[in-house]
């Protein structure tokens, strides 16, 4: 049985953040609200959101979020709903504390660096990075005027995360064929569409950020419909998680997934690995170890340990040997 939860309202466009109070009224979100931001995103939009909602409580996260402290504040101040205004970490904090305290949350992204801004999944950094199913935002308010002013590197990473759906779907189909795993055609097609649209519009991304925002929202919806991260997370994501564990200075999630997508598509014997690489180049996302700022040895190591990180059947199967990993990274020009 699947338990599908989707956002009730999605507002995308220039100055969308001005509609926050109207959206809350229409969704019957009333009472005390909590706004979570970081120092930068508070200035960019958090302050405005807090003032529009007359928020009781504003939490500005600077480093690792103290979930216990936030949950205590929510209880003590009798908070009715949460607004996460920021990038992935802020939205994840809002998502997780909303899930734990069983109150709704709004996702108000100030950049579009990965699909976590819309999905029900939250990434937690424990001994190894894990993603747990929390809850979908009750509403997403994506102000394209704010998102287009964020550093281009973040937008390029968001494009790469959407493009990575391509190999996630290939892995999902493989797991269905070889292991009889559940597979949903609708969620898979929706996820693939996000990857395709971003690739097809690679040249236009900087002028029209709504393409990426909508692709990431569709990714989140695909995850909601599948009730699993399968449509948007395959072995390219395992490769990125492996880099997060072993690299002293990992790159951005989307950037690593993009490079992983090139290699995993090649491993699937899919000729489109060249198209994927070309699209990432046009977008301005990294396509080599050097552009990721990561040494070759970590790329090879990550490819060899990726399969062991989670019980998810992918083209990596039992894992690649060092020689296979090196050959793959060289054949695709990553190292």
| Contact residues for Zn ion, defined by CB under 5 A | 114, 161
Nearer to Zn ion, 103 or 315 (CB): 315
What does the buried/exposed string (b/e) look like for 78-114 if buried means 16 or more CB atoms within 10 Å of the residue's CB? ebebbbbbbbbbbbbbbbbbbbebebbbbbbbbbbbb
| Apex 302 CA angle, 300 and 306, nearest 5 | 130
| Residue placing its CB nearer to Zn ion in the complex, 17 or 252 | 252
Residue nearest to Zn ion (CB): 161
Q: How far apart are CA 205 and CA 74, in angstroms?
A: 38
> How far does Cα 117 stand from its chain's mean position?
6
> Shortest gap between Cβ of 28 and Zn ion (angstroms)?
32
Q: Please tell me the distance from the alpha carbon of residue 96 to that of residue 207, in angstroms, as a whole number.
A: 33
Q: What is the spatial distance between Cα 156 and Cα 61, in angstroms, rounded to a whole number? A: 24
Shortest distance, position 118 Cβ to Zn ion, whole Å: 11
Both tokens assigned to 218: 């569709």
Q: For tokens 């209880």, what's the residue?
A: 75
Q: In angstroms, what is the minimal distance from the CB of 52 to Zn ion? A: 30
Q: Minimum distance from CB of 324 to Zn ion (Å)? A: 24
Q: Closest CB to Zn ion among 7 and 254?
A: 254
Q: How far is the CB of 194 from Zn ion (least distance, A)?
A: 11
Contact (Cβ atoms closer than 8 angstroms) between residue 245 and residue 183: no
* Residue closer to Zn ion, measured from CB, 114 or 312: 114
CB 281 to Zn ion: min, Å: 20
| Cβ proximity to Zn ion, 78 vs 126, nearer residue | 126
| Pick 61 or 161: Cβ nearer Zn ion | 161
């Amino acid at each position: 049985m699947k338990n599908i939860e989707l956002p009730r309202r999605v507002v995308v466009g220039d100055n969308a953040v001005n509609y926050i109070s109207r959206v809350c009224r229409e969704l019957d979100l009333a009472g005390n609200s909590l706004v979570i931001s970081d120092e930068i995103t508070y200035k960019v939009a958090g302050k405005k959101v807090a003032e529009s909602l007359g928020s009781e409580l504003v939490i500005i996260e600077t480093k690792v979020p103290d979930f216990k402290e936030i949950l205590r504040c929510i209880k003590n101040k009798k908070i009715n709903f949460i607004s996460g205004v920021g990038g992935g970490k802020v939205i994840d904090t809002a998502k997780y504390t909303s899930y734990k305290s069983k109150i709704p949350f709004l996702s108000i992204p100030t950049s579009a660096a990965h699909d976590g801004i819309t999905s029900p999944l939250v990434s937690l950094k424990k001994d190894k990075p894990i993603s747990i199913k929390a809850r979908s935002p009750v509403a997403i308010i994506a102000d394209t005027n704010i998102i287009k002013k964020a550093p281009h590197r973040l937008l390029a990473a968001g494009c790469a995360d959407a493009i990575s759906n391509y190999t996630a779907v290939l892995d999902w189909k493989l797991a269905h064929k070889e292991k009889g795993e559940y597979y949903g055609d609708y969620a898979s097609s929706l996820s693939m569409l996000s990857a395709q649209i971003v690739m097809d519009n690679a040249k236009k991304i900087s002028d029209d950020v709504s393409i990426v925002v909508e692709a990431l929202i569709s990714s989140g919806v695909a995850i909601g419909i599948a009730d699993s991260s399968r449509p948007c997370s395959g072995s390219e994501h395992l490769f990125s998680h492996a880099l997060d564990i072993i690299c002293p200075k990992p790159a951005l999630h989307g950037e690593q997934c993009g490079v992983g997508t090139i290699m995993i598509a090649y491993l699937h014997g899919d000729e489109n690995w060249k198209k994927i690489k070309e699209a990432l180049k046009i977008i301005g996302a990294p396509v080599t170890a050097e552009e990721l700022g990561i040494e070759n040895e970590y790329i090879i190591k990550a490819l060899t340990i990726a399969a062991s990180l989670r019980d998810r059947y992918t083209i990596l199967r039992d894992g690649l040997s060092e020689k296979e990993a090196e050959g793959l990274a060289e054949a695709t020009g990553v190292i």
